[in-house]
């Protein structure tokens, strides 16, 4: 890995700004605000997750904040990510609203959710959010290589993270290698293909011979490819299952077989069909 190394316990990476990010997070995309979201976050924290990934556009920052407070964990023990909704004007002002909803003084990571209005449009405001101390690290999401290059061209504080859709079936090798060279760590959202990849025959075969589940195999693949990984679930037993991924390894042969499932042609793009 070029710029960002693993910590000694193998559970986090050191970002190029010096901050550490836990490799496993609970993602709460499409989890409704209220008890369902609070339960999911609570169960994740009880199962040992120390990284929660939300966004302004998810509408559930309030629930994430309540679950965090109720957990009794210290603020510094949980890595908290939210994302700037790029349809809004000012990232720094929007972060203030997020902090109120989350009930915290700062987030650990604040990222531009997608490159609406052009890849550099929000970056000045993101840097202001960082300079104010309200966001410890800043990054982007759904940015392809050309978008990242544009941001690096104008940045005083470069993005340290790019969160993209990533799995063996969306193995964006060109994007991964380019980001690693530039010191940008990739985060995998939808690592289970929003559930679609769990029924794949090859994934199931590897899971069976290892005595693991398809979800664990897919999550482990992302970890071994150097990514931070954000599986989503609202079921307690699945949240627990998805965290049992640090006590086994996929062989080179299994990794190669999974790599072969890629349908993107090793692209350096973040998405096949942008929605903005």
Contacts to ligand A2P by CB under 6 A: 27, 190-195, 198, 213, 215, 231-235, 238, 241-242
Shortest spacing between CB 239 and ligand A2P, in angstroms: 8
Write out the catalytic residue numbers: 58
- CA–CA distances in Å: residue 117 to residues 121, 141, 153, 173: 6, 14, 17, 26
In angstroms and rounded to an integer, the radius of gyration of the C-alpha atoms of the chain is 18
Cα–Cα distance, 85 to 138 (Å, whole number): 14
| Closer to ligand A2P by Cβ: residue 145 or 186 | 186
Nearer to ligand A2P, 158 or 231 (CB): 231
CA distance 241 to 221: 15
Rounded to a whole number of angstroms, the minimum distance from the CB of residue 145 to ligand A2P is 23
Closer CB to ligand A2P, 27 or 91, in the complex:
27
Q: Give the shortest CB-54-to-ligand A2P separation in angstroms.
A: 14
Residue 240, classified by CB atoms within 10 Å of its CB into exposed (0-12), middle (13-18) or buried (19+), is middle
The nearest distance, CB 270 to ligand A2P, in angstroms, is 16
**Contact (CB, 8 A) for 102 and 64:** yes
Closer residue to ligand A2P, CB minimum distance, 59 or 193: 193
Q: Which residues of 31-58 are buried (b: 16+ CB within 10 A; e: fewer)?
A: bebeeebbbbbbbbbebebbbbbbbbbb
């Amino acid at each position: 890995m070029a710029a960002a190394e693993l910590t000694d316990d193998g559970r986090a990476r050191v970002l190029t700004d010096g901050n550490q990010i836990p490799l496993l997070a609970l993602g709460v995309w499409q989890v409704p605000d209220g008890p369902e979201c609070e339960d999911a976050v609570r169960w994740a924290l009880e199962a040992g997750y120390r990284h929660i990934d939300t966004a302004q556009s998810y509408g559930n920052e309030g629930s994430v904040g309540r679950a965090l407070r109720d957990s009794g964990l210290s603020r510094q023990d949980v890595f908290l990510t939210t994302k700037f909704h790029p349809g809004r004007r000012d990232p720094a002002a929007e972060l203030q609203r997020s902090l109120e909803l989350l009930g915290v003084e700062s987030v650990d990571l604040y990222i531009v959710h997608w490159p609406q209005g052009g890849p550099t449009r929000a970056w000045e405001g993101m840097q202001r959010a960082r300079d104010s101390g309200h966001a410890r690290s800043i990054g982007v999401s759904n940015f392809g290589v050309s978008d990242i290059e544009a941001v690096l061209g104008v940045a005083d504080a470069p993005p340290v993270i790019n969160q993209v859709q990533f799995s063996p079936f969306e193995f964006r090798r060109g994007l991964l290698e380019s980001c690693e060279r530039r010191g940008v760590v990739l985060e995998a959202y939808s690592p289970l293909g929003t559930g679609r990849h769990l029924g794949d025959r090859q994934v199931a075969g590897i899971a069976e011979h290892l005595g693991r589940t398809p979800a664990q195999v897919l999550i482990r693949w992302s970890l071994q490819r150097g990514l931070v990984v954000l599986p989503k679930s609202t079921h307690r037993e699945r949240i627990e299952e998805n965290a049992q991924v640090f006590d086994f390894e996929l062989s080179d042969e299994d990794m190669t077989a999974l790599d072969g499932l890629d349908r993107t042609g090793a692209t350096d793009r973040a998405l096949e069909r942008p929605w903005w």
